[in-house]
Amino acid sequence: MDEVPIGRRVAYWRGRRNMSQQVFADRLGKSKSWVDKVERGVRRLDKFSVLHEIADVLRVDVQLLLGKEPERRTDALNCIDQVEVEAIRSALERYESMPAFFVPAPDPPALDEVRKSVRHAWLTLQYARYGVLTRALPKLLRDTQAADAAYRGGDERAQEAAHLLGQVYQIASSTLRKLGEHELAWLAADRSMAVSQRSGDLLLTGVATCRVGNALLALGRPKSALEVNVNVASQLAPNGCRAASAQQLSVYGLLLLQGAMAAARIGDNATVRELFVAAQEAADQLGGDYNHYWTSFGPTNLSLHQAAAAVELGEGGRAVRTDQEIDPDRFNALLPERRAHHLLDLARGFAQIGNMEQAGESLLRGDQLAPSEIRCRPIAHEVMSDVLRRTRGAPSSPIVELAEHMGVGI
């Protein structure tokens, strides 16, 4: 970060705080022209008093502006910080629906535009661009909340607005959980359950259940996570009277996979096997890897979860063997988040069997696919610390560089 001009650092953090040059200038008591010259490097910032004022307005440590932040470099900063967490929290604390019961919104958001934004957010999540997503989520939450409040009455527009809001709560929950904000992740997932039921879409409610289960698991409540996933999966199970749709099989299968992960956390091998057998049947019926309801469910994702469950059970060797049986072409066809997540699980598996070289190599491969999945997740930091601590001799240069990017000390 030292080689980045200070003006560019100011511009970076101003943009991250969603401030225009004019707003930033007003808060500093300066002119827009002054800000523009600073950011372009035309005007020097050589007074510490001014630097401290800028840092206060941007709500960052002044050391970040000086390029001397001791723990993280610019690319690691593309994850999330507490200002952005608070912005998401504030958006989750809004209750737009209450005033709408008394005074209808005069200018509700256009559902077409909201729909496009929600689709883009899903893709951003599945490409593991968490920094981009966390900065977009507060506005997206406000927009979908406003749409849900505006369109009431049970008609198609009301159901679609609820559907879109339910999806955004799910996106928020998944993102927050990955970044270690587990309580907020549970709140967003719980909100998604309630809103999804209003949408009239049973399958959306099923996916929301997965988010609730994931949040409960992250909060250290695996038994509750197992129960909620299995209970709803039983409601969506194919009943034999008619063929289940691909969408139903995908959501049903995802619930089974998440239930298996919760059972693995408990150490319940029998339930893990039972749920994976049922998920295999659903995957076989589906006949391939698809992304219905953003589930990425299919035979390959099933294998990835089997490897992850083995790691949770402390059976790193089995996780490695499972990985070796995955078809490379099918694996490479999965979205980046899924692949990088698996490589993180694989790194944990290699660490369990003492193969620190391969553990580090898996982290490097995951970082090449989706940097935020490795650099931003607390569990990845734990694995990297383990690799650094247990590697015999000096770690390789690529590992040292990645550790620096992650802010993990050697």
pLDDT tens column, 83-105: 788 889 888 887 655 444 445 55
188: buried, middle or exposed (CB in 10 Å: 19+, 13-18, 0-12)? buried
Residue 215 lies in a domain: yes
- Let me know whether 185 and 290 are in one domain: no
Residues 186-200 have pLDDT tens digits of 999 999 999 999 999
pLDDT at residue 120 in the model: 97
Compute the average pLDDT of residues 373-397.
93
Rounded distance between C-alpha atoms, residue 305 and residue 283, angstroms? 13
pTM of the complete model: 0.82
103 shares its domain with 215:
yes
pLDDT at residue 244 is higher than 60: yes
pLDDT tens-digit profile of 46-57?
787 888 888 888
Identify the band that residue 1 occupies on the pLDDT scale cut at 50, 70 and 90.
very low
Assign residue 49 the CATH number of its domain. Answer: 1.10.260.40
For the cut 80, the answer to whether the pLDDT of residue 396 exceeds it is yes
Task: Tell me which residue range forms the domain holding 406.
Answer: 336-410
Quick one: 309 and 237 in the same domain? yes
Mean pLDDT within 23-34: 90
233 and 250 housed in the same domain: yes
Q: Which of 334, 353, 369 is the last residue of a domain?
A: 334
Which segment of 39-53, 160-174, 321-335 scores lowest on mean pLDDT? 39-53
> Which pLDDT band, with edges at 50, 70 and 90, does 68 fall under?
low
Question: Do 91 and 132 lie in a common domain?
Answer: yes
Quote the pLDDT of residue 71: 42
For residue 298, is pLDDT > 60? yes
My answer on whether 342 and 324 are in the same domain is no
Whole-number pLDDT of residue 94 = 74
Using one digit for the tens of pLDDT, what is the confidence trace for 214-240? 999 999 999 999 999 999 999 999 986
The pLDDT of residue 295 = 97
Express as a percent the part of the chain with pLDDT over 70.
92
The more confident residue out of 5 and 24 is 24
Same domain, 302 and 348: no
The enclosing domain of 372 has a CATH number of 1.25.40
Query: Among residues 15, 36, 70, which one ends one of the domains?
Result: 70
- Residue 89's pLDDT is what? 87
Whole-number pLDDT of residue 106: 62
In a domain, 76, yes or no: no
* Residue 385 banded pLDDT, cuts 50, 70, 90: very high
For the chain, the domain total comes to 4
Using the 3D structure, point to which of 46, 70, 94 is the last residue of a domain: 70
Residue 184 lies in a domain: yes
Residue 75 belongs to a domain: no
Q: Counting beta carbons within 10 angstroms of the beta carbon of residue 28, is it exposed (0 to 12), middle (13 to 18) or buried (19 or more)?
A: middle
Q: What's the pLDDT band for 410 if we cut at 50, 70, 90?
A: low
86 and 60 in a common domain: no
* pLDDT for the residue numbered 90: 87
Based on the fold, state whether residues 330 and 346 are members of the same structural domain: no
**What's the gap between Cα 7 and its chain centre?**
31
Q: How far apart are CA 8 and CA 17, in angstroms?
A: 14
Same domain, 141 and 266: no
Instruction: Output the average pLDDT for the chain.
Output: 90
Is residue 386 a part of any domain in this protein?
yes
- 266 and 314 belong to one structural domain: yes
Q: Which one has a higher pLDDT value, 369 or 64?
A: 369
Question: Which pLDDT does position 105 carry in this prediction?
Answer: 56
User: In a 10 Å sphere around its CB, with 0-12 CB exposed, 13-18 middle and 19+ buried, how is residue 88 labelled?
Assistant: buried
* Predicted pLDDT of residue 9: 84
| Residue 3: per-residue pLDDT | 56
Q: What are the helix (H) ranges across 219-335?
A: 222-236, 246-266, 269-286, 299-312, 316-324, 328-333
CB-CB contact of 302 with 280 (8 Å) = yes
- pLDDT tops 90 at residue 112: yes
Mean pLDDT of 135-143: 92
Average pLDDT over residues 105-133: 91
Torsion of the alpha carbons at 89, 91, 95 and 99, rounded to the nearest 10: 150
Contacts 24+ apart (CB under 8 A), 46-55: 53/28, 54/10, 54/28
In a shared domain, residues 228 and 281? yes
Number of residues written out for the chain: 410
Is residue 347 within 8 A of residue 383, CB to CB? The reply is: yes
pLDDT value of position 329: 97
